[in-house]
């Protein structure tokens, strides 16, 4: 892969986009076949894959807004990559359609006869009903797409202009955007994940999902930062100092995710209220306890001790392995949240779990890479660009 040193545009790209597109098409064909093989399993597996890839896109949106809000300098050279991740959200809106068609299989509150015999669901019916669910889903994506596209357009305008006002506009939209982001992501987490078991509730659940989403995005971002470093295309621009700082963020959000996970569990265990504890009970029997332990050690303990030392965050092979590891564990975490609602009696992995992951993921990476190729890899007129290139991490 070659990059023009003055324009920061890719002049000769690798095969990342082509490989991703081929895998995506194969995965989508397998996904369609899975629908006819086992429709119920398909809907749960598809939801897991959909949330996984959407969470990475939403993590990119948070990264961009946070960058603008705090006026960060260190992240200027990787800002465009974060923006290219967030601009995949409109693609994910298309992939949300099968989720809406699968409401009847996914959510027991969508069946009137079930609600009629369940006082708890009757009390939640004004919120948990199919029409309002679809309206909320459309609203969530409308907010996310507006924020992503607006910030993206301003960022592209900055490439051809030295107007300082563009930076101010990005900050101005990021401030209310962050509030909207918090509310929409929280309620989307309630809708798509927590309401799979509508008898259970946790007020901290939205923050739990957010922390995992941003951690996964950082791992995804790190993979491509390391890829560019490995090809030598951005050597001297995106340096070891930058992926050291991404590693520090990964370490911080491993701790934050662990804190949210423990807080949710500890408060429910301490309260000992049956309608709350049953959710964790289902994940501590019939083989699911091993997945629970895998998440504790795989998404917190191991990353914590690996990322803690200064040197590991500057070690390319270790960070490459940890980025892949975190992404796999993020999928396991989502699988642990979703699948006990379908298979409470045993853990049952299926090839149907793989098909939508490969299909949606292939198209996600292909579109991400398409945006990477189409634009300068850096925001060339950002006033903090030169300072970011000279970053020295501590």
Residue 1 is assigned to a structural domain of this protein = no
User: Cα-flanking dihedrals φ and ψ of residue 203, to 5°?
Assistant: -75, -15
What integer pLDDT is reported at residue 229 of this predicted model?
78
User: How many other CB atoms sit within 10 Å of the CB of residue 176?
Assistant: 11
The tokens describing 191, both together, are 């809708």
- pLDDT tier at 233, thresholds 50, 70, 90: low
Instruction: Give the pLDDT mean for 25-37.
Output: 97
- The boundaries of the domain holding residue 367 are 10-387
Where does the chain show beta strands of DSSP type E?
2-3, 10-12
Give the largest Cα separation in the chain, rounded.
68
Rounded Cα gap, residues 147 and 112, in angstroms? 36
What integer pLDDT is reported at residue 162 of this predicted model?
75
Rounded to 5°, the CA angle 307-309-315 comes to 70
Residue 3 is assigned to a structural domain of this protein = no
Rounded Cα gap, residues 93 and 101, in angstroms? 13
Using the structure block, give the residue that is written with the tokens 């409109």.
90
Rounded to 5°, the CA angle 230-235-314 comes to 65
- pLDDT tier at 393, thresholds 50, 70, 90: low
Asked if residue 373 has pLDDT above 80, the reply is yes
Angle between helices 39-70 and 316-338 (to 10 degrees): 130
Residue 277 is assigned to a structural domain of this protein = yes
Angle between helices 205-231 and 240-271 (to 10 degrees): 160
How big, in percent rounded to 5, are the helix, strand and coil portions of the chain? 75, 0, 20
Residues 6+ apart with CB under 8 A from 68: 151, 167, 170, 171, 174
The tokens describing 329, both together, are 């564990």
User: How many other CB atoms sit within 10 Å of the CB of residue 205?
Assistant: 18
User: How many other CB atoms sit within 10 Å of the CB of residue 227?
Assistant: 15
Among 113-122, 354-363, 370-379, which stretch is predicted with the lowest mean pLDDT? 370-379
Distance of CA 65 to CAs 93, 341, 342, Å?
20, 34, 36
Residue 299 is assigned to a structural domain of this protein = yes
Asked if residue 371 has pLDDT above 70, the reply is yes
Residue 5 is assigned to a structural domain of this protein = no
Burial-class residue 107 by CB neighbours within 10 Å (0-12, 13-18, 19+).
buried
Rounded Cα gap, residues 378 and 237, in angstroms? 9
Rounded Cα gap, residues 241 and 123, in angstroms? 53
Rounded Cα gap, residues 54 and 46, in angstroms? 12
Residue by residue, DSSP assigns 49-103 as HHHHHHHHHHHHHHHHHHHHHHT-STTHHHHHHHHHHHTTHHHHHHHTHHHHHTH
- pLDDT tier at 71, thresholds 50, 70, 90: confident
What integer pLDDT is reported at residue 394 of this predicted model?
58
When divided into structural domains, the chain yields a total of: 1
Residue 223 is assigned to a structural domain of this protein = yes
Asked if residue 1 has pLDDT above 70, the reply is no
What integer pLDDT is reported at residue 227 of this predicted model?
87
Can you give the length of the chain in residues? 394
What integer pLDDT is reported at residue 331 of this predicted model?
98
Q: Could you tell me what percent of the chain has a pLDDT over 90? A: 75
Rounded Cα gap, residues 182 and 376, in angstroms? 30
Residue 177 is assigned to a structural domain of this protein = yes
Residue 185 is assigned to a structural domain of this protein = yes
């Amino acid at each position: 892969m070659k990059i023009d040193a003055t324009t920061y545009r890719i002049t000769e790209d690798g095969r990342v986009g082509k490989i991703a597109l081929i895998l995506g098409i194969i995965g989508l064909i397998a996904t369609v076949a899975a629908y006819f093989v086992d429709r119920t399993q398909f809907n749960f597996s598809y939801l897991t894959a959909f949330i996984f890839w959407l969470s990475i896109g939403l993590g990119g949106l948070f990264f961009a807004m946070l960058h603008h809000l705090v006026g960060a300098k260190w992240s200027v050279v990787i800002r465009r990559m974060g923006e290219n991740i967030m601009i995949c959200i409109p693609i994910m809106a298309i992939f949300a359609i099968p989720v809406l068609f699968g409401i009847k299989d996914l959510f027991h509150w969508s069946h009137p006869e079930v609600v009629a015999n369940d006082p708890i669901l009757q009390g939640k019916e004004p919120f948990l009903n199919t029409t309002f669910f679809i309206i909320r889903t459309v609203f969530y994506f409308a907010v996310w797409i507006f924020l992503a596209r607006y910030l993206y357009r301003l960022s592209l305008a900055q490439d051809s202009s030295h107007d300082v006002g563009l930076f101010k506009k990005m900050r101005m939209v990021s401030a209310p955007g962050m509030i909207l982001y918090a509310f929409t992501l929280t309620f989307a987490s309630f809708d798509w994940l927590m309401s799979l078991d509508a008898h259970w509730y946790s007020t901290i659940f939205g923050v739990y999902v957010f922390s995992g989403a941003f951690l996964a995005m950082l791992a995804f971002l790190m993979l491509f930062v390391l890829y560019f470093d490995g090809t030598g295309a951005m050597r001297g621009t995106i340096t070891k100092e930058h992926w050291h700082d991404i590693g520090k963020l990964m370490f911080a959000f491993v701790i934050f995710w662990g804190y949210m996970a423990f807080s949710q569990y500890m408060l429910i265990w301490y309260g000992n209220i049956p309608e709350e504890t049953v959710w964790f009970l289902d994940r501590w029997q019939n083989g699911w306890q091993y997945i629970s332990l895998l998440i504790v050690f795989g998404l917190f303990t191991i990353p914590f001790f690996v990322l803690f030392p200064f040197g590991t965050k500057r070690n390319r092979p270790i960070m490459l392995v940890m980025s892949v590891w975190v992404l796999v564990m993020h999928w396991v975490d989502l699988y642990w949240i979703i699948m006990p609602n379908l298979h409470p009696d045993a853990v049952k992995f299926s090839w149907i779990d793989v098909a939508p992951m490969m299909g949606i993921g292939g198209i996600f990476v292909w579109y991400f890479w398409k945006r990477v190729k189409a634009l300068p890899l850096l925001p060339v007129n950002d006033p903090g660009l030169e300072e970011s290139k000279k970053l020295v991490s501590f």
